[in-house]
Amino acid sequence: MRNGALYRAGSKVCLVPNVRKTITALERMRGLLGRPPLQAGEGLLIEPCPSVHTFGMRYALDLVYLDPAGQVLKLVQELKPWRMSSCTHAHATLELPPGAIERSGIKPGDRLEWHGEP
């Protein structure tokens, strides 16, 4: 996985300062399974990923579905364990700790930019 951050497009406003981005198919399949819950300021960006499940997880997630340009298509707040969620036209999914969407002010139509470590 690569480390980076997500910013509001065209600005220096960092919305999620500690984001890990999946690189391999195995990383995408595993996601957060078997990992500790995300903390405030953390996220997991899974790309490509139009759907998420929380089977086998013990904690809820906030989800942000993005198109290939980083535009927010759909938000899901506090998806509980043992549930599924999807967004037909999504290219990527950002997984966040519960309450992160509300705290960050992310809204449908916003555009987010990934800034990874070199």
State the residue range of the domain holding 108: 2-116
**Token pair of 85, please?**
């969620």
Q: Dihedral of the CA atoms 103, 108, 111, 115 (nearest 10)?
A: 40
SS3 category, 48: coil
User: What distance, in Å, lies between the first and last C-alpha atoms of the chain?
Assistant: 13
Q: CATH code at 87?
A: 2.60.120.1140
Percent of the chain predicted with pLDDT > 90: 93
Q: Please state the pTM of the whole predicted model.
A: 0.95
DSSP class per residue in 24-89: SHHHHHHTTTTSPPPPTTEEEEESS-SEEE-TT-SS-EEEEEE-TT-BEEEEEEEEPTT-EEE-TT
Domain count, the chain: 1
**Percent of the chain whose pLDDT exceeds 70:** 99
What are the pLDDT digits (tens) for 12-31? 999 999 999 999 999 999 99
Q: How do residues 48-105 score in pLDDT, each as one tens digit?
A: 999 999 999 999 999 999 999 999 999 999 999 999 999 999 999 999 999 999 999 9
